[in-house]
Structure 1
Amino acid sequence: MELSCKSEYAILALLEMATHYQSGEPMQIRQIAAQQNIPDRYLEQLLATLRRGGILKSQRGSRGGYFLAREPRRISVFEILECLEGLDAQTGNENAKSQTLDVAVIEEIWCEANQAAKSVLQNYSLQDLCDRRDSRKQLDVMYYI
């Protein structure tokens, strides 16, 4: 299982928005793109998808932009990936009668791995990612006397 570029960019953008969540002000695409080194046009498409998925809200006008629809702690990483990638509970039982024993065993293991990944992703919120990032920033700070 690999994180797609689309998902990585979206999570980076959402982390930026989570950082500014308390201000209550919408963030403009160019602002987010500059902070996270994401191409503007690509980011525009990602944010529109996240808005349609209910993760973001948008505001029109000169002071418009995007903002999180809920608190960062109420948005799971799984929800973000599900919105972007269409992750759903897929079962491979359509051809159950024509499967060999080997294929059935492989599919069982694959389903188990997917369930484990889903469980981990559901347990992490956008706030958890922000907290982890901030704690690592603290570790990177060196004081010289």
Structure 2
Amino acid sequence: MRISARADYAVRAALMLAAAGQEGPPLKAEAIAEAQDIPHKFLEGILNDMRRGGLVASQRGVHGGYRLARAARDISVADVVRAVDGPLVSVRGVRPPELAYSGPAESLLPLWIALRANVRSVLEGVTLADVASGRLPEAIGALTDDPAAWTNP
């Protein structure tokens, strides 16, 4: 699986908004872009996708900017990735249940479905509040405790 720059930037921007809280003043896109080293124009498009996805709210004017539309504990990392990149797992741009294989490749479909289930389990099981607080769920910690998880084969 590949995490796009767009998804990485979106999660980082959402974490900035989570850390700022919903009660404080909205954050300007320029401030987020500078703090996270994200190209400003690219971030504007990402924030607009997240706004259309119901994850962030924008406010115009001198005191304008962005804030989360819901509490950080109610937004999963999966929500953010889907808002900017679409489905978490696709094969050639197609969702796994829409695929069909034959012959020796027939058992490939359950493999893609299992991959999607595991990606969902991880990304849907972690909220912006978890990441922003530095307290990831135990299941995530267990996955990262395996030294093999940190190496590239």
Asked whether the two chains share a fold, i.e. TM above 0.5, the reply is yes
Q: Deviations over 1:16-59 (max 9, x none)?
A: 11111154211101111111111110110000000000000000
More helix by share: 1
Runs (4 or more) in structure 1 with deviation over 6 Å come to: none
1:61 alignment counterpart: 61
1:80 alignment counterpart: 80
1:120 is aligned to 2:125: no
Distance 1:10 1:93, change over 3 A: closer
2:28 alignment counterpart: 28
TM-score under structure 1 normalisation? Answer: 0.83
Structure 2 alignment gaps of length 5 or more: 90-94, 137-153
Report deviation, 1:103: 1.8
2:28 partner amino acid: Q
Match of 1:91 among 87, 96, 113: 96
Q: Give the number of equivalent residue pairs.
A: 131
* Higher gyration radius (CA): 1
Instruction: Give the aligned CA root-mean-square deviation in angstroms.
Output: 1.9
1:129 alignment counterpart: 131
Is the CA contact 2:58–2:66 (under 8 Å) kept in the aligned structure 1?
Answer: yes
User: What SS does the corresponding residue of 2:54 show, helix, strand or coil?
Assistant: coil
Q: Distance in 2 between matches of 1:93 and 1:19?
A: 38
TM-score under structure 2 normalisation? Answer: 0.79
Structure 1 alignment gaps of length 5 or more: 135-145
2:144 alignment counterpart: none
